[in-house]
Each structure stands twice: as C-alpha cells, then as structure tokens.
Amino acid sequence: MATIYEVAALAGVSPATVSRVLNGAAVSPEKVRLVREAAEQLQFTPNRTARRLRNQSSELIALLIPDVENPFFTALARGVEDKAQAAGFSVVLCNTDDDPAKETRYLDIANSEDMAGVILAPASEDGDIRHVTDRGRPVVAVDRNTGLTIDSVMVDNRAAGVAATTALFDAGYERVACIAGPLGLEWTEERSLGWRQVVSKRGAGETIDRYLQHANYRVDGGRAAMAALLALDSPPDAVVTTNNLMGVGALQALSEAGITPPDFGVAVVGDLPFSTLHPDAITQVHLPARHLGTTAATMLLERIAGDDQPARTVVLRADVTRGAARPAR
C-alpha cells in the first residue's frame, strides 16, 4: 500500500504538495504532472483511515434496519444506496433484529467509526439515539418514530389501513377481518385503526373484536392468525394484514385450507414479494419502500452538507392496486 510519502519521494516533492494535488489546492502545473505520474505508477490509493482521523468524518452512512431478510427493508436499502452512491457515499447495512441492544451497539460503532450519518428504522422508541445526535451526527428516522424530534420519513399508516379495508368492501366482501402485529408497535396499530375505522362504518357490526387478530409480524404469525380466523363460528370472508410477511402467512393458511383468492378477499398492507399468484387476485397497498429510502438519504445528505433547519417529518402515502371483486355465490 503506497503512502503519500512514497509518492512524494518519487515525484520529488513534499507530502503536503501531494495532498494538495489530490484535494485540488493550488499547485503549479508542472508539479501536478509529476505527482499524478508518481501516484499512477505506484497505484496510490489514499488511506481512508488516516484521512478520517484527521478530518473527523468519513463518507460512510450507517443504515440500521430490523431485518435484511424482509423485502420491505431491502427495497428501502436500495433506495438509500442509490442516493448515497450518487453522492459518493457508501452505505453500511446493519441488522438490528429489532433488538435495542444490537441497535445501541451499532449506534456506538457509527460514532466511533466517525460515520457521516445514520438512517435508522428504530427498534424501540427509547433507544440510545442520543449517543449519536448529541455528538452532532445527523440521524434520520425512517418508517418508525422515535421519541426525539429528528428528521423522519414515515408512511401514512392509518390511510394505508383504510385503503386496504375500503378496497375489500368495495369489492363486495362483507365480513372483513384484520391480522395485526403485536400491540405496542405504532405502525401496526395505526394500520389496524384504519381497518377499524372503515369496518365500524361499513361492517357487519358486533364482530369487530373477534375479527381482529394479533400476531407476531412474521410469516408464521400470519399463518396461525389466519387459521384461527377460519376456525371461528362465523368466519370472515376477507382479511387485511398489516404487513407483507403476515400477508404471506395468511395466504399460506388459506392455500392449506383449499381456499384461493378472490373466493376469500385478501388485502395486504405492503407488497407481496415474489408472489406467484395471479397478480390481481389480491389487493396490495404498495408501501413506497424504495422511495422512503431515497427520501431519507436525501434528507441525511442535506444534513451532512450542513443544513441545520429544524427537524422535518415527511409523510409518504401508499398507492393501492385493487384485487378482483368477490365472485358471485
């Protein structure tokens, strides 16, 4: 690994001059040429560690997400990456597993690695985000809220729940259930509130609470909840799931019971990844995952560039592709 000193020696100048050439400060054309040639010849790449120690900042952005295996978050990551790349930043992807301890660990790393900024889908509301913001490092929250007043990019979850549920009623279903995530997570509560709001107007009454299932927000949870719904005395004829994975689980359970949409209405808040179903059998409320990422990255880059206006919150809306109408009996 050639150093700036070796380049300087070969070019017959001082290290300072080499640095100036590299960073575009004033140097005579003659020496610029000498330095360029020497750098070329030695295949010189500046050592980022040394540079960072001096500059106290790097071109690294940390992206903390709960689960790399969830397509929603990978799409978001792609969005972040695209914007970051274009601005000359690299993205470090970190898995928090929704574990506040892991999250804290990564935030500490972001600090001691002198990262330029952090984009965070927070595991909990009371994470140690302060560790980072206190040091003046910009942080943007994405998809979920923090307790702090920092830049954030959210989805209108209530509206998403409303849209999913409305689509099912419009398609002719009458007993619309909901598979929601665990209590205490804002995003899923908001979406199921959207469902409740529509059902209380257009639904069959009475049954609301029996038709609301809480599950862990993964595939197996959705599957179990769907099975439970089907086992009810008067089962629903349609279901809304508050995220993509539970949607997959619900469809699996239906498939195992020999039922295929649109015989049973299904609306998913989120995209069904790699679905092999006929695409318009199902209502999908497409969460703008990638857009969430690009927006967050843009905001973060602005902060890194020195923008210090008050914290902003951007709320994006989901758009819906409606599934088929309920077939006549």
Partner DNA sequence: AGACCGCAAGAAATCGGTTTCGTCAAGTTA
Partner DNA sequence: TAACTTGACGAAACCGATTTCTTGCGGTCT
Considering the rule CB under 8 A, would residue 90 count as an interface residue with a second copy? yes
Considering the rule CB under 7 A, would residue 136 count as an interface residue with DNA? no
Shorter beta-carbon distance to a second copy: residue 90 or 149 = 90
Please choose which of DNA, a second copy, none residue 109 contacts, taking the beta carbon within 5 to 8 angstroms, the exact cut-off set by kind.
a second copy
Q: Give 204's Cβ-side CA count (13 Å radius).
A: 16
Q: Name the nearest CA neighbour of 53 among 120, 97, 133, 114.
A: 114
User: CA-CA distance, 147 to 129, in Å (whole number)?
Assistant: 9
Q: Could you tell me if 267 and 238 are in contact, meaning their C-beta atoms sit under 8 angstroms apart? A: yes
Considering the rule CB under 7 A, would residue 312 count as an interface residue with DNA? no
Report the residue from 26, 276, 306, 309 that binds a second copy according to the rule CB under 8 A: 276
User: CA-CA distance, 244 to 222, in Å (whole number)?
Assistant: 9
Q: Name the nearest CA neighbour of 273 among 294, 295, 243.
A: 243
Burial 24-38 (b: 16+ CB within 10 A, else e): eeebeeebbebbbeb
Amino acid occupying residue 26: A
Shorter beta-carbon distance to a second copy: residue 194 or 323 = 323
Site string for a second copy, 170-209 (x = CB under 8 A): ----------------------------------------
Report the residue from 33, 41, 55, 279 that binds DNA according to the rule CB under 7 A: 55
Shorter beta-carbon distance to a second copy: residue 105 or 312 = 105
Considering the rule CB under 7 A, would residue 39 count as an interface residue with DNA? no
Cβ 49 to a second copy shortest distance, Å = 5
Considering the rule CB under 8 A, would residue 251 count as an interface residue with a second copy? yes
Site string for a second copy, 7-46 (x = CB under 8 A): --------------------------------------xx
What's 233's DSSP letter?
A: S
Shorter beta-carbon distance to a second copy: residue 95 or 133 = 95
Amino acid occupying residue 56: Q
User: CA-CA distance, 240 to 261, in Å (whole number)?
Assistant: 13
Considering the rule CB under 8 A, would residue 218 count as an interface residue with a second copy? no
Q: Name the nearest CA neighbour of 170 among 279, 320, 272.
A: 320
User: CA-CA distance, 156 to 144, in Å (whole number)?
Assistant: 11
Q: Give 190's Cβ-side CA count (13 Å radius).
A: 14
How far out from the chain centre does Cα 15 lie?
43
58: helix, strand or coil: coil
Name residues contacting a second copy, limited to 67-86 (CB under 8 A): 68-69, 71, 74-75, 77-78, 81
Cβ 271 to a second copy shortest distance, Å = 10
Report the residue from 37, 40, 41, 50 that binds DNA according to the rule CB under 7 A: 50
Task: By CB under 8 A, name the binding residues for a second copy.
Answer: 1, 45-50, 52-53, 58, 68-69, 71, 74-75, 77-78, 81, 90-95, 106, 108-109, 111-114, 135, 219, 245, 248, 251-252, 255-256, 272-279
